Chains A and B, each alone.
Chain A
Amino acid sequence: MSLIPRALLAAGAATALLLTGCSNPLSADQAAEENLDGRGPISFAMGRNDAAVMMQVIDRWNEDNPDEQVEFIELPGEADEQRNALVQSLQAQDGQYDVMALDVVWTAEFAAEGWLQPLEDELAIETSGLLPATVESATYRDTLYAAPQNTNGALLFYRTDLVETPPETWDELIESCPAAFDEGIDCYIGQFRNYEGLTVNVSEAVNAFGGAIVGEDGQTPEVDTPEVHEALQLLVDSFADGVIPQRATGFSEEETHLTFTGGDAMYARNWPYMYAIGESEESEIAGDFAVAPLPGKDGVGASTLGGYNNGISVFSENKATARDFIEFVQSEENQRSFMEAAFPPVLESVYDDEELLEEYPYLQALKESLQNAEPRPVTPFYEAISTAIRDNAYAAIRGDKSVDEAIADMQSAIDAAGR
């Protein structure tokens, strides 16, 4: 026998050793009990896209706290990549990131993994001034696991040259559609491509009718209810009647703003970022549009929340500093600076600021939208549940299956999500 295969065998044996050598020396639960009063320098990890806003906050903190400096760690821009970076570090149980900016939909999963320090007892923070839905998005099983950093809510953009008063209910919106059809443009557009945006749009319809997707435990499906039937039926009918054009089944945020600012739709559901684009030079409708809260069933509808929550890693060595820092992020001054970067704040009082109201005409509508907002399901199986919602809702709005079928499938897919 030649020696080369033998060398290969040895290498294989070494590999086999490595394969089985993955154990758990220290549990996350133990880590959660430690370093509760630790003070000293900490790190703050966040995606690079919005880093500039956060850097100002960190600079202000560092000026006042020379002994407890915050170091900014830039994560990749893509949400999935950010998540991977955080998960890898937390799985390795190192305290590389003390405070993490978590997309609202990751919060429950990270909490269920035991990676987030519960914000209770000496680490508790004040939440009374915050928008209620943002606090809800950070609460898993009645415990607050993160501090809301900034939020994001949807707005109904409408053409002021075609619509006198914005619709408050879906019925009003549908009744006003002929004005759009007379102009040869679409009535209502939103994000109905089969991706996360569809989950958001469907949840908004469900919330508008007072339905829910999962129960209190974040897992038991609750979509087989009259409210959800009504909500999905509304979307299906809107597509069938042309209130929403068929092509919107290929729309994400990008197509929405291109279509609306191109003057090809009367109503559009989108995030506040579209306001600046609508007023820019490329826009066909600058000066001819305004915003309102999303329509609901009997009154103002409910937006789905976006945004970030700040979580403290259980492996952090300086948790007391981390706690003070995430509370500092919520201070009025910092939240105001978020607003200036079109980064909707979580602090309710900022929305009443006269100066800001003048500068940002959409602020009033955004406040109303956010006061009625609902978080997406707070569940450790968010991605699977989101897939269950959007795959089946997509089939229904394209007419591939009936509303009843779609909801039955949604129900069993959510049920199987937690396996």
Chain B
Amino acid sequence: MAESARAGGANASGPSLPPQQAGPSLPPQQAGPSRRKRDWRPVYLIAPSMVILAVVIMYPVLRAVYLSFQSDRGFDQDTGRFIDGGFAGIAHYTRWIFQQTTSSLGETISCPPGTLCSNFWESVGVTFFFAGVTVTVEVVLGFWMAIIMSRTFMGRSLLRASVLIPWAIPTAVTAKLWYFIFADQGIANRIMGRQVGWLTDDWAARFAVIISDVWKTTPFVALLILAGLQMIPQDVYEAAKVDGANAWQRFTQITLPLVKPALMVAILFRTLDVLRMYDLPAILHGVSGASPTTTVSILVVADIRQGNFNSASALSTLVFLMIFGVAFIMVKWLGANAIRTQDAERKGA
């Protein structure tokens, strides 16, 4: 027993040796390439996880893209049976983007209301509207909460812990909770003393989703920003005070730039989260494609429910491209900014 444990220990310490050996040989950089060619160990070590990643991530993604170019099942009028669809080209994509479908006579018509493709652009609009409004409100509120939480006062840890509760509750539960709050005879209407059709009026319904989402995820944003705030050394503020900077100047000149990396991470995470939001509006208002709170993800699921797996693949590929585009822009623009801030800070320091 003891022996085997010792043997295990020896094994475990094994892998930590090579870096130590490699360490001294690294400084002469020129020797690197020739040495690396013979050293296959990194490949052996990385290959298994690469293969697993390929199977778990790449396969479904590639398969979805492949399927999006295949036709959905056809229908044989004579036998009343489904038949294979075959190759579709970009038909699914044009169907969504140009909102066109085929009638039973084979004519191309624009999607009539009551078909899912007629809801595409509206759901894209709703998705971006949700992203824009919720992220803005969450960042402003979250920043404010983070500043309060970063101060020292009695019961600070209690406040920090309790603020996180909304975020800790599963989204499905949150959604059901707000569903009852916004119900016709719910608390929201009773407190306000008037009848707002939170679940029936288009805009009230959208704001119901926004309010629930803000309630749920502001603590998360606050926490990320708080982490950023804690990184700022206090002496910077003291120095600024000595130099005569007022509170607003300290906020815009010190806090904002220094907390920017954390802020950007929070904005990026939240934006991507909202762009693929499904559960909250689905539970609040249902999964109908024509609901005023239909996000693109809800539309994907609605299409799957109709048995159109391949056209749903095309739609989810579009969602993927949309989110990828937004993430790319944000990382490229805002990410670059964040790095420059750190550089500037280093130079300044």
Which positions in A face B, CB cutoff 8 Å? Answer: 3-4, 7-8, 11-12, 14-16, 18-19, 80, 109, 111-114, 140-141, 193-195, 217-220, 246-247, 249-250, 255, 258, 262, 380-381, 383-384, 387-392, 394-395, 398, 409-410, 412-419
Which chain B residue has the least Cβ–Cβ distance from A416? Answer: B101
Query: With A7-B47, A12-B58, A194-B291 in contact, is A413–B112 under 8 Å at CB?
Result: yes
| A249 pairs with B80, CB closer than 8 A | no
B66 close to A (CB within 8 Å): yes
Q: Interface-forming stretch among B19-27, B113-121, B130-138, B253-261? A: B113-121
CA distance A414 to B104 in the complex (A): 10
B63 on interface, CB distance cutoff 8 Å: yes
Instruction: Pick the residue among B77, B101, B102, B114 that contacts A389 (CB under 8 A).
Output: B114
Closest 7 CB pairs of A and B: A413-B114, A11-B54, A388-B114, A250-B199, A412-B112, A391-B290, A391-B114
- A11-B50, A11-B58, A246-B200 given; A194·B114 CB < 8 A: no
CA of A113 to CA of B289, assembled, Å: 25
User: Residue of A at shortest CB range from B287?
Assistant: A195
CB proximity of B291 to chain A, nearest CB, Å: 6
Identify A383's interface contact among B40, B77, B82, B306, CB under 8 A.
Answer: B306
Nearest-neighbour CB distance to chain B for A360, whole angstroms, equals: 30
Whether B114 pairs with A246 at a CB distance below 8 angstroms is no
Complex alpha-carbon distance, A380 and B73, angstroms = 11
For residue B40, which residue of chain A has the nearest CB?
A3
- Give chain B residues whose Cβ lies under 8 Å from the Cβ of A109: 307
- Picked from B46, B116, B287, B289, the residue with its CB within 8 Å of the CB of A7 is B46
Interface code B94-126, partner A: CB below 8 Å = 1, 0 otherwise?
A: 000000011110000101111110000000000
Q: B200 — which chain A residues lie within 8 A by C-beta?
A: 246-247, 249-250, 398
A232 to chain B, nearest CB (A): 13
Flag if A387 contacts B58 (CB, 8 Å).
no
Instruction: Kindly list chain B residues whose C-beta atoms are within 8 Å of the C-beta of A416.
Output: 101-104, 109, 111-112, 115
* B81 located at the interface, meaning its Cβ lies under 8 Å from any Cβ of chain A in the complex: yes
Chain B 243-288 interface residues, beta-carbon cutoff 8 Å to A: 286-288
| CB closest chain-B residue, reference A20 | B66
Contacts of B6-53 to chain A: CB distance below 8 A: 40, 42-43, 46-47, 50-51, 53
For B118, the closest partner residue in chain A by CB is A413
How many Å lie between the Cα of A391 and that of B307 in the bound state? 18
**B287 CB contacts on chain A under 8 angstroms:** 195
B145 to chain A, nearest CB (A): 32
- Are A8's CB and B114's CB within 8 A? no
A-B contact pairs, 13 of them (CB 8 A): A7-B47, A195-B286, A195-B287, A195-B288, A217-B80, A219-B75, A219-B77, A247-B184, A250-B197, A384-B116, A392-B114, A413-B114, A415-B103
Residues of A within 8 A of B77 (CB): 217, 219
B321 CB-CB contact with A under 8 Å: no
CB distance from A73 to the nearest CB of B (A): 23
- B62-A16 in contact (CB<8A): yes
Query: Are A384 and B306 in contact, with the CB atoms below 8 A?
Result: yes
Residues A194 and B102 in contact, CB atoms below 8 Å apart: no
B59 at interface (Cβ–Cβ under 8 A)?
yes
Asked whether A194 and B103 contact (CB < 8 A) given A11-B51, A388-B115, A391-B114, the answer is: no
Q: When chains A and B are docked, how far (Å) is the Cα of A18 from the Cα of B59?
A: 8
Interface presence of B339 (CB below 8 A): no
**Bound: A98/B102 CA distance, A:** 37
A-B contact count (CB 8 A): 146
Interface residues of B in 52-79 (CB under 8 A from A): 53-55, 58-59, 62-63, 66, 72, 75, 77
Please judge, given known A-B contacts A7-B47, A395-B113, A416-B115, whether A380 and B306 are in contact too, CB under 8 Å. no
Interface positions of B (Cβ within 8 A of A): 40, 42-43, 46-47, 50-51, 53-55, 58-59, 62-63, 66, 72, 75, 77, 80-82, 101-104, 109, 111-116, 183-185, 195, 197, 199-200, 286-291, 302, 305-307
Q: How distant is the Cα of A109 from the Cα of B197 in the complex, in angstroms? A: 37
Assess whether B290 is in contact with A255, with CB atoms less than 8 Å apart: no
Q: Shortest CB–CB separation between residue B320 and chain A, in angstroms?
A: 17
- Residues in chain B near residue A255, CB distance under 8 A: 183-184
Residues from chain A with a CB closer than 8 A to the CB of B50 are: 4, 7-8, 11
Contacts of B307 in A (CB 8 A): 109, 381, 383
Q: Closest CB-CB distance, A404 to chain B, in whole Å? A: 13
Which residues of chain B are near A11, meaning CB under 8 Å?
50-51, 53-55, 58
Known contacts A220-B104, A387-B290; can you find 20 more A-B pairs with CB under 8 A?
A7-B43, A7-B51, A11-B54, A14-B54, A16-B62, A19-B63, A112-B82, A113-B82, A194-B286, A195-B286, A195-B288, A247-B184, A380-B75, A380-B82, A388-B115, A391-B289, A398-B200, A413-B114, A413-B115, A416-B109
A12 neighbours in B (Cβ, 8 Å): 54, 58, 62
Name which of A112, A410, A416, A417 has the most chain B CB atoms within 10 A of its CB: A416
A249 contacts across to B, CB distance below 8 A: 197, 200
Complex CA distance for A247 and B287, rounded to whole angstroms: 19
B50, B62, B185, B200, most chain A CB atoms within 10 A? B200
Which of B58, B72, B112 is the one whose CB lies under 8 Å from A409? B112
The smallest C-beta distance from A355 to any residue of chain B, in angstroms, reads: 39
Residues of B within 8 A of A410 (CB): 114
Identify the interface centre among B40, B50, B115, B286: most chain A CB within 10 Å of its CB. Answer: B115
Residues in A neighbouring B81, C-beta threshold 8 A: 112-114
Measured CA separation A383–B114 after assembly (Å): 11
Report the minimum CB–CB distance from A219 to chain B (whole Å). Answer: 8
Shortest beta-carbon distance, A262 to chain B, in Å?
A: 8
Complex CA–CA separation, A415 to B103 (angstroms): 6
| Interface contact A415-B104, CB-CB below 8 Å | yes
Query: Please, how many angstroms separate the alpha-carbon atoms of A140 and B79 in the complex?
Result: 11
Contacts of B43 in A (CB 8 A): 3-4, 7
Q: Are A387 and B63 in contact (CB under 8 A)?
A: no
CA distance in complex: A8, B53 (Å): 10
**Distance, CA A390 to CA B287, complexed state (A):** 12
